[in-house]
Amino acid sequence: MTRIEFAIDKDALAKDLELSPERAHAVALEETYFIMPVRFCIGDVDLFMSPSSAEPWIPLPVLGFANRLLEGLQKVQPKTNTSIYLAGGGSLQVALLAEGEVVIECSLTSKTGSDGLGKVMDAARMFSDEVQRLLLSRAPLLRFHPSWVAWFPNSDRPF
């Protein structure tokens, strides 16, 4: 089973919203806004659980992580590796085996988990949908940001 989730950090979110994120550059939004604790569990392995921590969460900018994760999973080809950058340092190394199994290793923890590509893609899409719902509910003007369609290509955007 694959599960990717985030917990809302109300204080960080409030500070981000004070900065009028709808006017921010796309790269700033993807790298420095909406930093929340994120958990990534694949095949019963918590990829972000380090030996020195009792928690399987790491702080990541959820907008950027959602997009890089989906992009990386869409690019992965059989018997090749794809690297997905984690803001603040580190990466996820993704390999697609011939039988459709995705193997992901986290450079921060050296943990490796695997699951079917379809299951991992579904979990990544659900994570992206949750990020979109958060942004629409807390920062609704972001839907008019020039990068909205790139971040959420399947969303409706009124003009």
Terminal-to-terminal C-alpha distance of the chain:
39
The model's pLDDT over 81-127, given as tens digits with 9 standing for 90+, comes to 899 999 989 999 999 997 899 999 999 999 999 999 999 999 999 99
* Strands lying side by side in the sheet with 91-96: 81-85, 91-96, 101-106, 112-116
The pLDDT value given to residue 53? 83
Q: Taking residues 36-58, what's their average pLDDT?
A: 93
Q: Is the pTM of this model over 0.85?
A: yes
| pLDDT (mean) for 6-30 | 96
Which residues have a Cβ under 8 Å from the Cβ of 1 and sit 6 or more positions away? 41, 43, 44, 115, 119
Q: 63 CB contacts (<8 Å, ≥6 apart)?
A: 29, 30, 33, 34, 131, 135, 151
**Three-class SS state of 18:** helix
Q: Where are the domains of the chain?
A: 2-76+117-151
- Label residue 159 by pLDDT band (50, 70, 90): very low
**Per-residue confidence (pLDDT) for residue 157, from 0 to 100:** 52
In the chain, the amino acid numbered 72 is G
Instruction: Say what the pLDDT of residue 17 is.
Output: 97
Give the mean model confidence (pLDDT) for residues 137-156: 92
